[in-house]
Amino acid sequence: METANDFARSLSLLRREKGVSQRAAAKELGISQALLSHYENGVREPGLAFVRKACDYYRVSADFLLGRTLSRDGTTIGAEELYDYSAEKDNVLHGSIMATLNKKLLVNSVGVLFDLLGKTGCKGAIQAAFQYLSAAVYQLFRYLYRTPGRQSEDFFAVTASHFAVGCAGADMTYSEADYVDALAEQLRENGAESFPPMNNDALAEAYPGTYQSLLQIVHATGERINYNLGNRWKGKK
């Protein structure tokens, strides 16, 4: 059941985010470590009493714990309520044509990615992809924010020292692992036919206005990685 999988995944992620061991969390939640392990791995489903305890312990809503909302307090935001900057005509970012072009490449490519994920119906992969990309944006924005050295970092929930030692990067790694696991589970449970066709012709037909952006990112990133493999990562200039 997808809801059960969402719950197990959220329960495990929240514990790791809190930085406590399974043994310590189980003690606080009033259950055995073995039972918590079963809950986190989706082997067993808990009762309402445990869900309430877990919500209090991790300070999240039941809807968030069950994967029904991305908001920890349970607030639901519909897709139609979100401001879509990319929909504006001639939206040029202030001061830079390059920033605008790069932004459009990413917006278009991410749009294709999430549409493809939506077609699979794999909620776990959709959530993990969102968390991975959110962590990337978080890191880039925070580096930009802190570089001038004029502003307090109290703006962020993660302390400056924790950010400096790579906690945000670790969150990306966890999200990437969850993404791979969710896709593997989708394949195992629903078969290859649950994935939309992703060859060049199928993508060009399905996304005539945005596929070129994804293609450009795929090619440019591939070339950069291969260059780094042959030069920078081997100590060459």
- Which tens digits make up the pLDDT trace of 146-194? 999 888 888 888 899 999 999 999 999 999 999 999 999 999 999 999 9
- Flag whether pLDDT at 87 surpasses 70: no
The CATH number covering residue 38 comes to 1.10.260.40
Q: How far is CA 130 from the centre of its chain?
A: 3
Q: Alpha carbon of 183 to those of 3, 50, 125: distances in Å?
A: 16, 28, 6
Q: Based on the domain organization, do 61 and 93 belong to the same domain?
A: no
Per the domain annotation, does 23 fall within a domain?
Answer: yes
- Flag whether pLDDT at 3 surpasses 60: no
- Flag whether pLDDT at 92 surpasses 80: no
pTM for the structure as a whole: 0.64
Residues 145 and 160 sit within 8 Å (Cβ to Cβ): no
Q: Alpha carbon of 72 to those of 22, 30, 82: distances in Å?
A: 21, 23, 17
∠ CA 79-85-89, nearest 5°, is 125
pLDDT the model gives residue 90:
53
Q: Based on the domain organization, do 23 and 93 belong to the same domain?
A: no
Q: Considering its fold, how many domains does the chain have in total? A: 2
Domain that holds residue 165: 88-234
Q: Based on the domain organization, do 59 and 164 belong to the same domain?
A: no
Give the separation between CA 81 and CA 130, rounded to whole angstroms: 18
